[in-house]
Chains A and B, each alone.
Chain A
Amino acid sequence: MIVVMPTVQLMILPLAADYEVKNINLAVVDRDRSPYSQKLISTITSSGYFRLVAYDDAYDQSYKRIERDDADLLLEVPDEFEREIVRSGTAKLFVAVNAINGTKANLGGAYLNSIIQRYNRELQVSLSDAGRFPPAPSVTLTSSNWFNVHLNYRLFMVPGILSILVTMIGGFLSALNIVKEKEIGTIEQINVTPIRKHHFILGKLIPFWVLGNVVFSVGMLISWLMYGIVPAGNLALLYSFIGVYLLCVLGLGLLVSTFCETQQQAMFVMFFFMMIFILMSGLFTSTDGMPDWAKAMTQANPVYYLVEVMRMVVLKGSTFADITRHLLVVASLAVGLNALAVFNYRKTS
């Protein structure tokens, strides 16, 4: 079960996690219906980003489509569009965007804008005399994407999701461990033995540490088999970081375990921490946009370091020098948490 669930999740979830914005539904209200407006609309639809869902006569009709979620964007071409361009050289267009999903709205709006500008330039070129040099100064951009040339979102998500799965398994299982003994009652027997506290905690730590590594290896295997992700960096480096990281997460689990009396409580407390750590780790949303207090919190968040290291080593081939800081922070967190767990565990209640 412990191995099957993460495996299945790792196989399915990255397929679902795709932030790429495509197939944006566009409704058009064309009051001009002139060759210029038709050309504009066909330029937009041929770009591949948009799907023309409606070609309406009135604004209200189109707006209803946005209400019903049939359309994400609405483009209105005013009447006399072509005439205005020919006469005065300027014209206006109106776009309404369903901005509930900020990213989609942003990107959809940006795509539409750039297509309209491209149309603008084409119009310019066709209407003016094309000389050897462009009539107006132009600063153009050539862009290239490194480390993920095809902009494949999976390459980004799979290492991230793997980190989350390893974290969850390590964290929850270790949290439940000592508490289960407390609940069942076998903790009494352990307490009367002469075993030292730190030996006891170590004994609890090691099997889960091995388990965590196994889960991680299975995950890496699946990423390779199913998604074709081969770490660009050093595999040994990755494993050593995971080793330290697991100690940290297990330490947290054990610490929580020493505080709670029932498994349910341990589960909840652990869940609470996990949620916060995972959400603020930069897996789903970028950490750059966070306010300063949130950024300060991420510095103490082990999951943040794991997600970063996974992405850096697997996708970019970062070296030991690049992740030294991450290693040090996670190592000190691990030592701290485990020490607290040992300290907090009382053989006599």
Chain B
Amino acid sequence: MKRFVTFLRKEFAHVLRDRKTLLILFGMPVVQILIFGFALTNEVSNARIAVVDQSNDNTTRRLIGRLDASRYFEVAQTISDPQQMVKPFRSGDAKLVIVFPAQFEQQLAHDNSVEVQVIADASDPNVATTLTNYVNAVLLDFQQELSPTAAPISIRTEMRMLYNPQLKGVHNFVPGVMALVLMLVCVMMTAVSIVREKETGTMEILLVSPFQPMMVMVSKAIPYLLLSIINVTFILLLSVFVLGLPINGSITLLMAESILFIITCLTVGIFISVKTSSQQVAMLISLMGMMLPTILFSGFMFPIENMPVPLQLISNIVPAKWYYIIVKSVMIKGLGFSDIWKETLILAGITIFMMALSLKNFKIRLA
């Protein structure tokens, strides 16, 4: 036991000596939470649009004024020649072009119906659909105003947004960022640790010592476990006090699950470390190999049910996915352990599996 503690002290010294890395270790989650909390949003607002007004009468001017006043749009240009419509799209100055036909007011007065054409830049399909919907809403509003009493039947829908009434992006992003940051940091740090000893040659010393491989791996993981717990606490504090995210469930449960997830990531890192022979490869795998897949398969950027089935199956092995579900359930929906025992079991299973694999692959000879 005493040997183990000595070993632990050595590992701690290694970690604490490296100031730059520590800075990034703690600074990165903070910066990410801030970015995600304040700068990133799935909402589309202040979208620049262009207008082709071929009739230029009072009604069209009113409508254009309405669109400009809404926070979703900003009328950036008026195009006089319909042939020139491609230009603002190509230069990125407009996401949408609205064309009002000639004699708009007269048509509306005589036929009681008029058509407006909307051309959307569908290179981003969702933005195009959302913006088109918004324009539709403005037009419908206008239509209602024209004749408030003429509509004989009206069905009013009362819509309530649960868990996130202001549709703030943070409720979705912060759990995702927690999963992402913890996964990447833990995997990266441990992935490098064992390989570094191999590369610099100090592995020999470890191997000839009476230490069992299990001890070596555990002692490398523990400093990072403690650091990550501090990190999680930071992130939670930031989310609650700076971003205003509520913690609706039990904090102890959240911390316990986070610790489990950290351990899972550490074991993945250890496995990468055991299998690779150079730091560069270990880092490339843990960073490049894990970053994009974690972002995509955890489900916080893109809904998993949209993906083709084989990819959905792959997402089941990404631990971040399960942790993301757990955090959402506990933190935002306020559910208890009985609702997340399945996910917890899966995480525990992945941990044990990775640990066993690492132990089996740990070479006690240098060659």
Contact = CB atoms under 8 A, between A and B. Distances in A.
B39 A280 contact: yes
Interface string B286-309: 011101110111000111011110
Contact of A294 (B38, B126, B152, B169): B38
A156 B25 contact: no
A38 B168 CA distance: 34
Interface string B142-166: 1100110011111111111111110
A5 B285 CA distance: 9
Interface string A159-179: 001001100110010001000
B125 interface: yes
B16 interface: no
Given A90-B155, A91-B155, A137-B147, A100 B28 contact: no
Nearest to B113: A138
B89 A294 contact: no
Contact of A318 (B35, B90, B128, B308): B90
A99 B165 contact: yes
Interface stretch (A190-198, A204-212, A219-227, A263-271): A263-271
B246 to A, nearest CB: 12
B81 interface: no
A276 B188 CA distance: 17
A239 to B, nearest CB: 19
Contacts of A119: 155
B260 interface: no
Interface stretch (B130-138, B214-222, B347-355): B130-138
B251 interface: no
B108 interface: yes
A332 B314 CA distance: 42
Contacts of A9: 288, 292-293
A272 B27 contact: yes
Interface in A62-91: 66-69, 85, 89-91
A145 interface: yes
Nearest to B144: A136
B123 A164 contact: no
Nearest to A23: B305
A291 B39 contact: yes
Given A267-B287, A290-B41, A116 B157 contact: yes
Nearest to A63: B162
A70 to B, nearest CB: 12
B307 A18 contact: yes
Contact of B44 (A133, A140, A280, A289): A289
A95 interface: yes
Contact of B117 (A136, A144, A176): A144
B139 to A, nearest CB: 5
A101 interface: yes
B91 A322 contact: yes
Contacts, number: 348
Contact of B128 (A18, A89, A151, A263): A151
Interface string A123-147: 1100110000111111111111111
B282 to A, nearest CB: 10
B77 interface: no
Contact of B303 (A101, A143, A145): A101
B356 interface: no
Given A151-B129, A269-B20, A13 B292 contact: yes
B121 to A, nearest CB: 6
B13 interface: no
B117 A142 contact: yes
Given A265-B18, A290-B41, A100 B172 contact: yes
Interface in B261-304: 279-281, 283-284, 287-289, 291-293, 295-297, 301-303
Nearest to B172: A101
Given A140-B113, A265-B20, A113 B159 contact: yes
A148 B21 contact: no
A172 B31 contact: no
A246 interface: no
Contacts of B153: 85, 89-90, 120, 123-124, 127
A265 B124 CA distance: 37
A289 B126 contact: no
A124 B151 contact: yes
B276 to A, nearest CB: 11
Nearest to B125: A151
Contacts of B24: 265, 268-269, 271-272
Contacts of A290: 39-41
A315 interface: yes
Contacts of B232: none
26 contacts: A15-B308, A17-B302, A89-B152, A92-B157, A95-B158, A95-B160, A99-B171, A100-B172, A110-B130, A128-B152, A137-B112, A139-B114, A141-B136, A144-B118, A169-B288, A262-B18, A263-B280, A268-B24, A272-B27, A284-B40, A285-B42, A288-B44, A289-B44, A294-B35, A294-B38, A312-B92
Given A68-B339, A289-B46, 15 more contacts: A16-B296, A16-B302, A100-B171, A100-B333, A107-B126, A120-B153, A135-B112, A141-B135, A151-B122, A172-B288, A268-B188, A276-B31, A279-B40, A294-B38, A311-B123
